[in-house]
Amino acid sequence: MLKFNSILSECKLDPKSVQLVRHQARGPNGATPYLLLQEDRSRFELYQTVQGRQVFRREFIASFVVTPVGETLFVDLYKVGKPVSNTAAFTCPIKLKSYDAEKLFVYGLTIDGRMNDFSKRLVLNWGEGYRSWIQRAEKQNKDIIEIRKQFEEPKFPGDSRSRSELRKSRRCTQRGEPPSGIKKAFTC
């Protein structure tokens, strides 16, 4: 299986110089880093540059977002600049939480073009550590699931999958059982 560190090496990047960053937050209005990236890349990049603590500790970050279907999609490779305190109040575009001046760290992140060909096309297996949104590339050599010909939005599950779920639901309700994963909260 093709590994992410092989691609880093092919792009003349030492995995020891790269942190893997997987953005997966969900805001109160349903906003996610993936949606922010699709709607306004500059707002996504602003979201990524502002952090509550000093977290980016390598020369580069390989940035990923979680898609609506749970894939880990590569965004881009960024060179990391020295963090500075925010000089003005900031409202997080995902969580909609406001922060006072000088409470956050703002990183100078600039796209490094060596991995542009993989932007929004490479999907990898993040593995079991979903809560670990920042990992060191040299310690976590991720499997690449797919490199797409071009970026594409996740497909709607489609009629056949919807009908299958509906059939399962009908079978369960005919037996008087709730669908799996749902507690019986009411009866008809």
C-alpha 138/C-alpha 81 separation (Å) is 20
Q: What confidence score (pLDDT) does residue 128 get?
A: 84
Q: Cα–Cα distance between 125 and 146 in angstroms, integer?
A: 9
The yes-or-no verdict on residue 161 having pLDDT over 60 is no
133 and 182 in a single domain? The answer is no
Residues 104 and 172 placed together within one structural domain of the fold? no
Task: Answer whether 69's CB lies under 8 Å from 98's CB.
Answer: no
Q: Other CB atoms closer than 10 Å to residue 62's CB: what's the count?
A: 28
Residue 120 and residue 42 share a domain: yes
pLDDT, position 56: 96
Residues 79-90 pLDDT 10s: 999 999 999 999
Same structural domain, 95 and 120: yes
Q: What is the per-residue pLDDT across 98-155, written as a single tens digit (0 to 9) for each?
A: 999 999 999 999 999 999 999 999 999 998 876 789 999 999 999 999 999 876 665 5
Q: Is residue 120 within 8 Å of residue 71, measured between CB atoms?
A: no
Burial 82-117 (b: 16+ CB within 10 A, else e): ebeebeeebebbbeeeeeeeeebbbbebeebeebee
Query: Can you read off the two tokens belonging to residue 27?
Result: 């805001």
The pLDDT of residue 130 is 67
> In this predicted model, what pLDDT tens digit does every residue of 12-66 receive, in sequence order?
999 999 999 999 999 999 999 999 999 999 999 999 999 999 999 999 999 999 9
Same domain, 45 and 74: yes
Q: Enumerate residues 6+ apart whose C-beta is below 8 A from 83.
A: 51, 54, 56, 105, 106, 107
Helix, strand, coil in percent for the chain, rounding step 5: 25, 25, 50
* Number of domains composing the chain: 2
3 within 8 A of 144, measured Cβ to Cβ? yes
Q: Which domain holds residue 171?
A: 156-188
At 152 the pLDDT is 65
> In this model, does residue 69 exceed pLDDT 90?
yes
Confidence of residue 170 (pLDDT cuts 50, 70, 90): very low
* pTM of the model as a whole: 0.79
The tokens for 17 are: 């110089």
Whether residues 95 and 161 share a domain: the answer is no
Co-location of 59 and 76 in the same domain: yes
Question: Are 33 and 75 found together in one domain?
Answer: yes
The Cα–Cα gap between 93 and 97 comes to: 8
Q: Are residues 17 and 89 in the same domain?
A: yes
Across the beta sheet with 50-51, the strand order is 50-51, 105-106, 84-85
Q: Domain check: are 90 and 142 in the same one? A: yes
Indicate if 17 and 39 belong to the same structural domain. yes
Contact 137, 3 (CB under 8 A): no
How high is the pLDDT of residue 181? 44
**Are residues 62 and 10 part of one domain?**
yes
